[in-house]
Amino acid sequence: AQSVTQLDSQVPVFEEAPVELRCNYSSSVSVYLFWYVQYPNQGLQLLLKYLSGSTLVKGINGFEAEFNKSQTSFHLRKPSVHISDTAEYFCAVSTNTGNQFYFGTGTSLTVIP
């Protein structure tokens, strides 16, 4: 079975500071990894995904994530956050043996002016 852990439920950070949102997963098979963002009153929007190849993945809005197989992690980073990055961020995994996603509990990022 697959599971995803997002250790930080809330992350406050000052504007223009860097941020890292942590995601760890467990799986007995190869995984595909995703980060989604949810702005207030909107659906989940894909930020980036790792399917194969380079372990450093760049996404929209200046975000990037690094797949670390040995640490079973897929942490999301941004070097300088904006007020508009305030949102809920979800890490998710899927596998090639089933078509559902397994989500973490989400991290609420609040950017402080």
Interface residues with another protein (CB under 8 A)?
Answer: 4, 32, 34, 36, 41-46, 49, 51, 90, 92, 94-96, 98-106
Nearer to another protein, 15 or 95 (CB): 95
Q: In angstroms, give the least distance from the CB of 100 to another protein.
A: 4
Nearer to another protein, 1 or 70 (CB): 1
Token couple for 14: 């000052």
Token couple for 103: 């989500």
Q: In angstroms, give the least distance from the CB of 16 to another protein.
A: 29
In the three-class reduction of DSSP (H, G, I as helix; E, B as strand; rest coil), residue 62 is classed as helix
Token couple for 80: 């300088």
User: Are the CB atoms for 86 and 111 separated by under 8 Å?
Assistant: yes
